[in-house]
Structure 1
Amino acid sequence: MQLLKNLNGKQKALVLLVLALILIAIWLFIGDGKKNNPAKSAQNAPVPEVITAGSLRYETGAPQLALIKSQDIPLSSIPMADELSARISYDDDVTARLTPSFSGRILEIKAAPGDIVKTGQVLAVIDSPDFGLAQADVTKARADEKRKQLALKRAKDLVPGEAISNRDYESIQADYAQAQAETARAEQRLKNLNPHDLKIIGQKVIMASPMNGVVTERNASAAQEVSPGMTSPLFVVTDPKRLWLYIDLPETYLGQIKIGSDVSVTSDAYPEQIFKAKVTQLGQVINPNTRRATVLARIDNQEGKLLPEMFVRAAVLQNSGQGVRVPNESLIIRGIYTYVFVENKPGEFSLRQVKLLKRGIDFSYVGEGLKGDERVVTKGALLLDAELISRAGEK
């Protein structure tokens, strides 16, 4: 106020105009915020109709329905323990990792990740002087062996007439044996450079797929230098429909699992889908730090949704007993009783008492009260329960 007294008339008018504009802007902001305030919208939302005790029905388009999610849940086998950490990996029985056993430079790249390839299909062409030298060594060694073989044959014909001494004959024999050894060494070196029987044209090596499958990894580019010491394969070809699952199983459960046991698998990428796997190997060593053994299972990935190196959750299933697997978010606890909401038809929900067969960290298995393939509320159960209690209080 003291500041306004020190201003002249025009300055006072300007200051008051600015203050008025600020107040109008604040008022408009607050008013707009109230229109978009979810709490206000919820208060003004249509009140659900109570059909019977424990049942609610919302009008079509009611905003509360956006907060409620339900899904059909079938019966499934009950696991013997809570879900365990697991990791997906390539099935090594149907995977080829192509790593060079020679030095060279990539001339051409013929495949990319995601390509479907067949046995013998060219993946890359590599120029390798190593092969040129190795082939030259083989040619030279074979020629020397042939020459010394002929010398031995001539010497052998001269022995009966004593035209050659035994000492000279033995020396020729030794030279031929040495030539044979040199040829074998050269051929073995060439074979070691090409353990996968790659096609060789001069010093060009044709790297081809050894199997039918999909190229899932490519660590190669044109003009790249390659060598036997590379840590990553140039190409990985595999069958993505067959994957392995590594499960860290606590030692206390080892007596309850066997080869052939069924495993259910869930992932964050597909939280509503359960994948099936079957145990194929049991770990023979316990990790002293974690007190767990590694169990190997083969997972069905016909849809191609799961990828190698994914972290998933696995549950080893019991041989008997089934229940409806619901998220713990679906459960309503009232005293010693447990309830879930079932969607009878769109917008109509009823509270149903159930009996738990197994309570887990994130999911539980329901026995009595649900029969499977019913539409269970998986999100928003507490909202429905609050609505029921509120409506009951009004009466």
Structure 2
Amino acid sequence: MIHSSVATAFPLPVAQPLEARLAYDEDVTSRLSLPVSGRVTELRARPGDRVRRGQALLVIDSPDVGSAMADLARAEADLALKQKTVARLQDLSGGDAVARRELEQAQADLAQARAEQARAALRLRNLHLGESSREGQRLTLSSPLDGVVVERNANPAMEVSPSLTSPLFVVADLRHLWVLADLPEKLGPQVRVGDRLVIESDALPQEQREARVVQVGPTVDPATRRVVLRAKLDNPDGRLMPEMFVRAWLPARRGEPAVRVPNTAIVTRGVHAFVFVETQAGEFQRRRVDLAARGGDDSFVSQGLTAGERVVTQGALLLDAELSAPADGQP
């Protein structure tokens, strides 16, 4: 059985494809917890929901929040009282030594009241309470970015606390992903930040995406003799997903063009390589090609074949045997 397919243009790689996986881009991923204890009263987002920055995810009832807000109210009231006391004594002090001592004590009390008010306000800021969240003991947890709720570990009426080991929500912008690949140590010095990777996935056959290297690990894993390579990948259509396995090709930095064909298309005769090009339906031409590189599954042709031509990918050896066989009646 003869099968053919279209040869495709592909940048000449420097090595075999790297086995890699996709992961959340941690620069646009937020794992959300709460710094106070309380009970979940409302859940406003589910796994898979798209959320906007500032959108509420859940609401809790928290005595800690009520206590912090009450502390701030007391501190502000005490500060206002101390300010009035100092102002009154400043008017009355004149040259009276007793009045001056009372004024100095009042000014010290005012400084302490300011410090207490600042402490109470700082505590509220550390609880991440926006103005809209200060409703009694209610605290609203909001998304800090536009993205998708990829994980939710909160349930109705659940008791939450700062000691929980899992985040209540994980929100990620899946339009951006990381590619994590294990780079052989011999290739480590050849890869630099900014180099590009060509990404392929079995989930999206015949489609390539481009990623950019952002980090090459500083150490070699002593067990695998590999270096961790990290690259950023744009995923505007969301068709690629975290934890997918992909192949990552490292194109040569000089950017030589090549044509990629499967190894089953290559026929070797002596030191030369050939492919069979389908010139029209059912008609094939044996053509010598120059191979720039050969991998485990694919070969890269530098001369003799043009992207877009159809080559035989199954049955090439059979065609070669037929063309090489002597004609009828010949020895």
CA contact (8 A) 1:155 1:164 kept: no
**Aligned in 2, Cα 1:73/1:199: closer, same or farther, shift over 3 Å?**
farther
5+ residue gaps, structure 2, are none
- Pairing 1:20-59 to 2, within 5 Å after superposition: none
- Pairing 1:1-395 to 2, within 5 Å after superposition: 64=1, 68=3, 70-162=4-96, 164=98, 166-194=100-128, 199-279=133-213, 281-283=214-216, 285-287=218-220, 289=222, 290=224, 292-318=226-252, 319-344=254-279, 352-378=287-313, 381=314, 383=315, 385-386=317-318, 389=321, 392=325
Structure 1 length as normaliser, TM-score?
Answer: 0.71
Report the Cα offset of residue 284 of structure 1: 6.3
5+ residue gaps, structure 1, are 1-63
* AA in 1 matched with 2:93: V
> 1:284-321, CA deviations, whole angstroms, 9 ceiling, x for partnerless residues?
62235255544432213233221123332212212231
* AA in 2 matched with 1:230: L
**Aligned in 2, Cα 1:175/1:102: closer, same or farther, shift over 3 Å?**
same
Report the Cα offset of residue 390 of structure 1: 7.3
Query: Which has more radius of gyration?
Result: 1
Q: 1:126 and 1:342 mapped to 2: Cα distance?
A: 68
> 1:154-210, CA deviations, whole angstroms, 9 ceiling, x for partnerless residues?
333333242735544433322222222111111111111117777332221222333
**Aligned in 2, Cα 1:179/1:72: closer, same or farther, shift over 3 Å?**
same
Q: 1:156 and 1:325 mapped to 2: Cα distance?
A: 89
CA contact (8 A) 1:87 1:312 kept: yes
* AA in 2 matched with 1:372: A
Q: 2:38 and 2:312 mapped to 1: Cα distance?
A: 61
Report the Cα offset of residue 359 of structure 1: 1.2
SS at match of 1:285: coil
Alignment RMSD: 3.1
CA contact (8 A) 1:106 1:124 kept: yes
Structure 2 length as normaliser, TM-score?
Answer: 0.83
Aligned residues: 325
Q: 1:78 and 1:233 mapped to 2: Cα distance?
A: 44
CA contact (8 A) 2:185 2:220 kept: no
Give me the identity figure in percent: 45
CA contact (8 A) 2:260 2:301 kept: yes
**Aligned in 2, Cα 1:99/1:72: closer, same or farther, shift over 3 Å?**
farther
More helix per residue: 1 or 2?
1
Q: 1:295 and 1:197 mapped to 2: Cα distance?
A: 43
